Structure 1
Amino acid sequence: MDTPSPPSFFNELADDDGEQQEYERIWRLLRQSDKERANTYDVDEEWAQLADRLDLGTAGADDTASDVHPSSRRAQDRPARSPNSSAVARRRRWTQALTVAAVVLCLVGGGVLWWSQPASMTAAVGERTTVALPDGSAVELNGGTTIEYPRGFSSFPLIGSSIREVRLEGEAFFSVVESDRPFRVTTPNARVKVFGTKFNVRTRTQDDTPQTRVAVTAGTVQVSGMTSDAKSVLLDERGETSEVSGGEASPTDPTIADLKYVQAWRDGGFGLAEASLSTILRELEYRFGTSLRLGVPVAKTDTMTLHYGRNARLEDVLRDVCIVQGLTYRETSQGYELVRD
């Protein structure tokens, strides 16, 4: 029966053709049966040949000792060694190298997997926070708001994407630095594209209908719906505002809004213009982190315009709302309820 070929790592361990041939010879010996090996393998002779190849003469020996036959030197000066100990040591080193390589590959793969997951930041209800984006832009988050974006604004580690994209749910004020890469905010039902500007985006879902409202403070933004046939509008004047209501709607034509109502939350205040009472209560929940319930039909209430400056108090807002709407509020185990007198 033919002797199997030596394993491939023999070729990698050999420094030259001579060593490779020697390894192949030893491999053939190892493949022999015990009886065959006893007839063909001389331990002393094999050791002598190995000692000659590696120059393993006895340290400090005189000239006369150096003339002693290598096999005698092995018997006198060296302990017996297993004929395949060198191969075992090399195999062990090779196994350790493979283990290290596997660990490195796992670390690299884990790093790539982590990088592929988007970064996410959330401001809990009743809180506000500011996030620094990878390109130097800043985003102020109102309560109950979450943003997501690719780490480093890259499609792959160290490879930048063609656009800086952020996904938003809630309300945020963006201060975007100029760049040759456009900046885009995606909400559940709209897209806002800019290059360098300041603007406010509020996106909420009411009665299963997503609504997005965009107001520009400086620069130019483009607002569009999510469908391919939805039109786009440009907002390039301070205070210009557009809204998208529903999943397949186009943005409304630009109108001018008073920014003090749009940005009151940034200073710790509260403001809404011409809003329904249900919308007011929902935004108060995000702003103050307290549950509010309307105990009367929304149809029997009126729209309102509210503005409170820095350090607004929830009880003050509820008191004023109830005066205008002819309601009263009472404390519950979870927050407040507005009811008719």
Structure 2
Amino acid sequence: MVRLKGEAFFEVKKEQRPFLVESGSTKIRVLGTSFNVRQKADEPLYVALVTGKVRVDAVNGDQVTLNPDEMLVMEKGGKFSKTGFDTMDVIGWKDNYLVFKSAKFSEVREKLELWYGVQIDVKGRIDPKWTYSGVYKDEMLENVLRGICVTSGMTYQIDKKQITITNPK
């Protein structure tokens, strides 16, 4: 039994005994598989199955079985949906890929702050329709910021762990 807050990728060998992952009030039952689980504060639970099979037991008694390339998205109240997923987008992080896929500015900011351990301040207004797509492997923060800002017409300044992004528009 593993209790999880946050995100983790599991590769579990097939054994006689079940392997359980508990995230919040949801249990994921595993027997020989690889999958990603993410549940952060005030977000839905995401379970993305790469290989094998898992069964998700919700607190309300619902049970959902996932097959490879399926992802379960479960809201706090127990409402859920199954979808496909982009493997690089969901589990690229474990191989040091920083992936943005039509990400809103708030998502880019949050991911950069968590990935690099920095604080980002913004000067100017960011268009609510602004999105960014890009993939970086083992890249320095300055190169990622350069890519984001050059394509968006913004500038950045780095002062230790404090980043300022300025949108002159």
TM-score interval (norm. to shorter): 0.7 to 0.9
How far apart are 1:333 and its partner, in Å? 5.6
2:22 counterpart of 1:186:
yes
Structure 2 residues without counterparts, runs of 5 or longer: none
- Secondary structure of the residue that 2:106 maps to in structure 1? helix
User: Structure 2 residue aligned with 1:235, among 58, 61, 66?
Assistant: 66
2:124, 2:78 → 1: CA distance?
A: 30
Residue type of the alignment partner of 2:163:
Y
1:265–1:287: 8 Å Cα contact kept in structure 2? no
User: Structure 2 residue aligned with 1:305, among 121, 129, 133?
Assistant: 133
Alignment RMSD (CA, Å): 2.6
User: Structure 1 residue aligned with 2:157, among 324, 330, 333?
Assistant: 330
1:251, 1:181 → 2: CA distance?
A: 27
**Corresponding residue for 1:318?**
145
How far apart are 1:269 and its partner, in Å? 2.4
CA gap of 1:236–1:324, structure 2 versus 1, over 3 A, is: same
Matches within 5 A, 1:17-28: none
CA gap of 1:220–1:333, structure 2 versus 1, over 3 A, is: same
**Corresponding residue for 1:278?**
106
1:283, 1:330 → 2: CA distance?
A: 18
CA gap of 1:328–1:222, structure 2 versus 1, over 3 A, is: farther
Residue type of the alignment partner of 2:70:
E
2:100 counterpart of 1:269:
no
CA gap of 1:287–1:333, structure 2 versus 1, over 3 A, is: closer
Residue type of the alignment partner of 1:219:
G
Under a length normalisation based on structure 1, what TM-score does the superposition of the two structures give?
0.44
Q: Which has the higher helix share?
A: 1
2:152, 2:47 → 1: CA distance?
A: 28
1:330–1:338: 8 Å Cα contact kept in structure 2? yes
Question: How many pairs were matched up?
Answer: 168
2:113–2:119: 8 Å Cα contact kept in structure 1? yes
1:175–1:198: 8 Å Cα contact kept in structure 2? yes
Residue type of the alignment partner of 1:236:
N
2:17, 2:7 → 1: CA distance?
A: 23
1:290, 1:279 → 2: CA distance?
A: 14
2:47 counterpart of 1:214:
yes
1:224–1:250: 8 Å Cα contact kept in structure 2? no
CA gap of 1:329–1:248, structure 2 versus 1, over 3 A, is: same
Residue type of the alignment partner of 2:99:
G
Under a length normalisation based on structure 2, what TM-score does the superposition of the two structures give?
0.80
**Corresponding residue for 2:74?**
244
- Secondary structure of the residue that 1:252 maps to in structure 2? strand
Structure 1 residues without counterparts, runs of 5 or longer: 1-164
Identity of aligned residues (%): 29
2:152, 2:26 → 1: CA distance?
A: 33
Q: Which has the higher contact order (CA 8 A, sep 6+)?
A: 2
